[in-house]
């Protein structure tokens, strides 16, 4: 293992340890009252979720965001422990400057290598100062860390499918009224962000909102059965 990979491994292990510690805090913390308009907002127009049978949780992130990098191990730990009735996925923030990074995310998903390039994408930007908006650097990372064929990468990175998903992500970000990353959207209705509650508080709010949506569904089902 070369020096770069040793450094990256150490960073990831350290962040994962912090994530596990945070997970324990989330699991043992007393229930708190969170205030709408302070800790989270309610969208004036709910956004349709992809699976109406589950409670959707969407992280809006950017590889260019250092706070997203810091939060990512917590996200991964939370995702592993998420209940079966929760549908979690990520949506990249899209702007003119961030389009190449969003393309990289969806190209990785399309090729089935996201688990191998997700953290290295963050690390390349925030640990090593590499401009990952340059396609050539993204290509090199995909080839090195995921063993992707170079021609396949170029074909998929610029494909209609990836570009369509980037446009859809841009539209979803507008509907979510995202002002900063990282933000987390619960069931297309509620949005919390690190600027409101801090990185450590985001999943406390998310868990609270999940319980709120779960209780609302139970009440609706009970009323329908009467």
User: For the segment 151-184, what is each residue's pLDDT rounded down to a tens digit?
Assistant: 999 999 999 999 999 999 999 999 999 989 999 9
Return the pLDDT at 7: 47
Q: What CATH number is attached to the domain comprising 51?
A: 3.40.30.10
Q: Return d(Cα 31, Cα 38) in angstroms, integer.
A: 17
In the predicted model, what is the mean pLDDT of the chain? 89
**pLDDT bucket at 14, cuts 50 / 70 / 90:** low
Neighbours of 221 (CB within 10 A): 9
- Between 6-15, 113-122, 211-220, the lowest mean confidence (pLDDT) is in 6-15
Confidence of residue 206 (pLDDT cuts 50, 70, 90): very high
Is it the case that residue 30 has pLDDT exceeding 60?
no
Q: Over the stretch 37-49, which tens digit does the pLDDT of each residue have?
A: 999 999 999 999 9
Q: Which is more confidently placed, 225 or 194? A: 194
Range of the domain at 52: 3-225
Helices 66-81, 3-28: axis angle to 10 degrees equals 60
Tell me the mean pLDDT in the region 198-221.
93
Band (pLDDT 50/70/90 cuts) for residue 78 is very high
Give mean pLDDT, residues 47-73: 97
Number of domains in the chain: 1
What pLDDT score does 32 carry? Answer: 58
| pLDDT value of residue 221 | 80
For residue 17, pLDDT over 80 is answered with: no
């Amino acid at each position: 293992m070369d020096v770069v990979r040793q450094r990256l491994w150490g960073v990831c292990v350290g962040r994962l340890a912090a994530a596990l510690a945070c997970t324990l805090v989330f699991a043992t913390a007393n229930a708190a009252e969170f205030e709408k308009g302070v800790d989270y907002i309610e969208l004036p127009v709910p956004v349709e979720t992809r699976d109406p049978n589950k409670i959707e949780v969407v992280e809006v992130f950017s590889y260019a965001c250092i706070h997203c990098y810091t939060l990512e191990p917590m996200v991964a730990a939370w995702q592993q422990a998420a209940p079966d009735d929760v549908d979690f996925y990520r949506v990249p923030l899209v702007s003119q400057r961030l389009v190449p990074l969003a393309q990289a995310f969806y190209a990785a998903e399309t090729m089935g290598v996201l688990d191998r390039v997700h953290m290295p994408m963050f690390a390349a930007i925030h640990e090593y100062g590499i401009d990952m908006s340059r396609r050539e650097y993204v290509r090199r990372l995909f080839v090195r860390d995921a063993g992707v064929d170079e021609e396949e990468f170029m074909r998929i990175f610029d494909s209609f499918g990836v570009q369509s998903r980037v446009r859809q992500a841009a539209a979803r970000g507008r509907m979510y009224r995202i002002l900063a990353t990282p933000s987390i959207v619960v069931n297309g209705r509620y949005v919390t962000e690190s600027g409101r509650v801090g990185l450590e508080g985001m999943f406390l709010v998310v868990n609270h909102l999940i319980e709120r949506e779960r209780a609302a569904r139970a009440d609706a089902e009970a009323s329908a059965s009467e």
